[in-house]
């Protein structure tokens, strides 16, 4: 049972909130939605014909936000008025479901509530999801070959093709994983090979029958040679020049 002081405190809190919402509606004319639902009416345009589609989309978003804010404020005002009416008729502070007294601490936090914590209708979590989610599945794992290794073009490849044109990532987002030299590499698995299988295919030339012809000095070649030196292994293509063979031979003899 609420005391007289507690009831008066809650009444004052509800009355103050009612005046605040009504004053807000008076100032912004119910967020301008009662005048018209069309987005271009909010900025004084007679027609949207000569406006850029992006500008129209921005105004449409702002209009939808005004509608949502207005609906929320009207709902809150209705709940405040309903609570004040309950105070007048003596039913305030009792749960509409079980009839038990609602703790003052709960009423102090949510003065408009008509239910105790156990019977609050807001405990229900809606399972309704936007209809768009039916088509916004994970791009990986939904096609026949996505879970298999291979060189065919799959959903991941299609994402990488799009990501090459820019994403919200920056080089700093990848510093812990790998070194980034330009923004064109700021997407997942940007280091994947495209158009070739082995790294040496970028600088090794072969004839029509696959016979080794030459090695072209490129940045990829330097990186590949450095990796071979660090591992102490021979290259998988062709024969090394004599001056390159000796260090590996001597190292093997010492071992």
Distance CA 211, CA 214 (A): 10
Q: Label residue 225 by pLDDT band (50, 70, 90).
A: confident
Q: Are 120 and 22 within 8 A, CB to CB?
A: no
- Measured in whole angstroms, the distance separating CA 79 from the mean position of its chain's CA atoms is 34
pLDDT of the residue at 213: 74
Distance CA 32, CA 73 (A): 13
**Block residue for tokens 């007048």:** 88
pLDDT of the residue at 92: 94
pLDDT, tens digit, for every residue of 120-160?
A: 887 777 788 888 777 776 655 555 555 555 556 667 777 77
Q: Is the CATH number 1.20.120.910 carried by domain 4-121?
A: yes
Share of the chain above pLDDT 70, in %: 69
Q: Are 171 and 183 within 8 A, CB to CB?
A: yes
pLDDT, tens digit, for every residue of 103-120?
A: 999 999 999 999 998 888
Provide the 10 A C-beta neighbour count for residue 116: 18
* Residue limits of CATH 1.20.120.910 in the chain: 4-121
Distance CA 9, CA 95 (A): 19
pLDDT of the residue at 239: 47
**Least confident piece of the model among 82-86, 134-138, 149-153, 249-253:** 249-253
């Amino acid at each position: 049972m609420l005391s007289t002081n507690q009831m008066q405190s809650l009444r004052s809190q509800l009355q103050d909130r009612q005046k605040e919402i009504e004053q807000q509606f008076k100032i912004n004319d119910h967020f301008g939605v009662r005048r018209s639902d069309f987005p271009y009416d909010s900025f004084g345009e007679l027609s949207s014909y000569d406006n850029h589609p992006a500008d129209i989309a921005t105004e449409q978003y702002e209009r939808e936000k005004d509608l949502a804010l207005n609906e929320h404020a009207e709902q809150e005002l209705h709940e405040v008025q309903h609570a004040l009416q309950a105070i007048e008729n003596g039913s305030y502070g009792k749960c509409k479901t079980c009839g038990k007294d609602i703790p003052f601490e709960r009423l102090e936090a949510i003065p408009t509530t008509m239910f105790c914590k156990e019977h609050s209708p807001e405990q229900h979590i809606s399972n309704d999801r936007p209809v768009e989610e039916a088509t916004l599945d994970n791009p990986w794992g939904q096609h026949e070959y996505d879970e298999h290794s291979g060189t065919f073009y799959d959903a991941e490849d299609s994402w990488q093709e799009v990501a090459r044109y820019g994403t919200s990532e920056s080089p700093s987002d990848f510093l812990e994983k790998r070194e980034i030299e330009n923004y064109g590499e700021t997407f997942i698995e940007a280091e994947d090979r495209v158009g070739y299988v082995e790294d040496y295919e970028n600088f090794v030339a072969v004839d029509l029958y696959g016979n080794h012809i030459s090695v072209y000095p490129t940045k990829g070649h330097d990186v590949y040679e450095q990796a071979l030196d660090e591992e102490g292994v021979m290259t998988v293509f062709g024969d090394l020049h004599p001056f390159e063979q000796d260090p590996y031979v001597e190292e093997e003899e010492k071992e």
